[in-house]
């Protein structure tokens, strides 16, 4: 499958919503459910800890937590902000996860998190899921994100990244400082061009492409020269 830039994948979102009238919440549900089913097959006995950022990558994490619970897993969430600080589709899914009784612990952004306390929190799981940052982020990591990624990398749990390993630039494959070292990456719509950079392998692990339910016609249009979609020329 053709690798896409982060901007091209974000345009898929926009086109699906604008031209096909697909609600964003449907795209997020498809992304999260698809990823959860693969995670369940990879790690059937996972006691999962989902790390959720403040954007839609975190939103995917809230959806995945719910579907893993439905599949019988013990799941909890470590979030960088409170539910009421979220917005849009991510907030909708955080409210649902909270109502579903999934534990959501907020790691205060400003708190001076001792590495040991984070390591202890992450030590109670055998499957860490990175829903911190996706296509909306640019390295280097700011604030608590770097501490969370370092603590996750020190864990002997299976590490699964959502869309893009946090800290890796999805377009260039560049890592400044630290990035989540995933055993598996559940990437949405298409592989990201940055995954092809040779240094990216140690961060993306095995790549699984997860569809988000957009019509084949839209995806087929992507194979046209980029200017057919009003996308910037390569
Ligand atoms: N079509 C699709 O592929 C779909 C993708 N989905 C998911 O949505 C994310 C993209 O979500 P977005 O809200 O645009 O951005 P992020 O969640 O990646 O993060 C934005 C958030 O993070 C802050 N931030 C940015 N850079 C940094 C940094 N270096 N350090 C700390 N914080 C940073 C920024 O301020 C924002 O608050 C995509 O990856 C998919 O996972 C949809 O769910 C389904 C369709
Ligand atoms: K991520």
Its CATH class, for the domain covering 6-221, is alpha beta
Query: What confidence category does residue 234 fall into, taking pLDDT thresholds of 50, 70 and 90?
Result: very low
Whole-number Å distance, alpha carbon 228 to ligand 2 midpoint, is: 30
pLDDT in tens, 71-120: 999 999 999 999 999 999 999 999 999 999 999 999 976 555 555 677 77
**Ligand 1 pocket check: which of 23, 136, 168 to mutate, most ligand atoms within 8 Å of Cβ?**
136
Question: Can you tell me which atom of ligand 1 is nearest the CA of 16?
Answer: 1
Q: What is each CA distance from 15 to 11, 24, 34, 55, in whole angstroms?
A: 6, 11, 21, 19
Q: What is the reported pLDDT for 42?
A: 97
Question: Can you tell me which atom of ligand 1 is nearest the CA of 140?
Answer: 29
pLDDT in tens, 103-116: 999 997 655 555 56
Q: What is each CA distance from 110 to 80, 107, 144, 223, in whole angstroms?
A: 10, 9, 7, 44
pLDDT in tens, 142-164: 889 999 999 999 999 999 999 99
Whole-number Å distance, alpha carbon 135 to ligand 1 midpoint, is: 5
Q: Is the pLDDT of residue 18 over 60?
A: yes
Q: Is the pTM of this model over 0.90?
A: yes
pLDDT in tens, 183-225: 999 999 999 999 999 889 999 999 999 999 999 999 887 765 5
Residue nearest ligand 1's atom 41 by CA: 57
């Amino acid at each position: 499958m053709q690798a896409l830039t982060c901007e091209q994948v974000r345009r898929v979102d926009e086109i699906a919503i604008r031209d096909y009238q697909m609600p964003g919440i449907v795209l997020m549900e498809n992304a999260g459910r698809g990823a959860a089913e693969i995670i369940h097959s990879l790690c059937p006995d996972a006691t999962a800890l989902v790390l959720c950022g403040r954007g839609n990558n975190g939103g995917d994490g809230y959806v995945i937590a719910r579907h893993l619970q439905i599949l019988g897993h013990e799941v909890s969430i470590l979030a960088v902000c409170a539910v009421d600080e979220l917005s849009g589709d991510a907030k909708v899914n955080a409210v649902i996860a909270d109502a579903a009784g999934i534990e959501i612990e907020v790691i205060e952004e400003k708190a001076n998190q001792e590495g040991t306390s984070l390591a202890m929190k992450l030590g109670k799981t055998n499957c860490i899921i990175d829903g911190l940052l996706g296509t909306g982020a640019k390295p280097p990591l700011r604030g608590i994100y770097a501490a969370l990624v370092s603590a996750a990398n020190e864990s002997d749990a299976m590490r699964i990244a959502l869309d893009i390993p946090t800290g890796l630039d999805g377009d260039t494959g560049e890592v400044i400082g630290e990035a989540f070292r995933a055993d598996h990456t559940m990437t949405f719509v298409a592989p990201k061009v940055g995954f092809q950079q040779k240094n990216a392998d140690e961060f993306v692990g095995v790549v699984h492409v997860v569809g988000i339910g957009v019509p084949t016609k839209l995806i087929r249009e992507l194979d046209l020269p980029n200017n057919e979609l009003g996308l910037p020329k390569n």
